Amino acid sequence: MIWLLDSLLAGWLLSLMSGPLGSFIVWRRMAYFGDTLAHSALLGITLGFLFDIQLNLAIVLCAVFVALILASLQRQHIIPSDTLLGLMAHTTLAAGLVTLSLVDNVRIDINGYLFGDLLAVDRQDLITMAIGAAIVLTVLSRMWRGLLAASVSEELAQVEGYPVARLRLLFMVMLAVVIAGAMKLVGVLLITALLIIPAAAARPFSKSPAQVAGLATVISMISVALGLGFSYQLDTPAGPSIVLTSSLFFVVSQSAYRLVGR
């Protein structure tokens, strides 16, 4: 049962990061942006294998590079932002899949990267995620007010003296760190769901941004525990089981909110 405990701890460490960051994604309406970064992670894995780079580092570097490209391209007014994000998301995902198939000396379980394999987490993964969580939470605590102000209006935040460009870059880097940590746990195709669903479920019952972030973290941690339990009992994939559990929380929260409102 030690392996199950390791998986639970890894999922909870991920929840500590994904709860607050997912709240900012919901507030800033950046779900497509997060999806694009998640899809680019597979290209990062390919580059890591090709150039013999540590995989988590390769994923972070690739995600940050794609984020910078998106930030520069979104300044143009020829292609709509949602079209640009969809183009980049599927292009990077396809490039990663094609490149992996062309590398002869690499044999990996592609399903593990697409859908995650939380039960394969080891102690090295736990240490890496603990370090990542400590860094992300420290940066978030220091940049919380600035990120909130920029989420409301980047122009007003700049007038108030916040370094908007630096805050945007820091947010992209933190998101890339979370994606690198979540890759092995829930996979490329489900990372964004784990970021936005708990935050969306927490939103109706929170009176402040801090409450949204805190409640989203709690919902995410409970979803991880219940999803792992369902996966163990029913022999289902761990990542999809966790996402489905958090989706149930969302349905219940929306239903309860409507009933209370009436």
- Model confidence at 215: pLDDT above 80: yes
pLDDT in tens, 123-147: 777 888 888 889 889 989 988 999 9
The pTM for the full model equals: 0.85
Half-sphere exposure at residue 87, Cβ-oriented, CA atoms within 13 angstroms = 10
Confidence (pLDDT) at 165: 81
In which region does residue 174 sit, left (phi positive, over 0), alpha (psi from -120 to 50) or beta (all else)?
alpha
Confidence (pLDDT) at 198: 93
pLDDT in tens, 73-113: 766 667 777 788 788 888 888 888 888 777 766 666 667 77
Integer CA distances (angstroms), 205 to 30, 198, 208, 226, 260, in order = 21, 12, 9, 21, 10
Which residue matches tokens 């998106």? Answer: 70
Domains and CATH numbers, the chain: 2-261 (1.10.3470.10)
pLDDT in tens, 219-238: 999 999 999 888 888 888 88
Give the C-alpha separation, 194 to 118, whole Å.
13
CB 140 within 8 A of CB 178: no
Beta-carbon contacts of 250 under 8 Å, excluding residues fewer than 6 positions away, are 197, 198, 200, 201
Integer CA distances (angstroms), 97 to 40, 47, 70, 109, 188, in order = 11, 11, 21, 12, 12
Give the C-alpha separation, 64 to 203, whole Å.
28
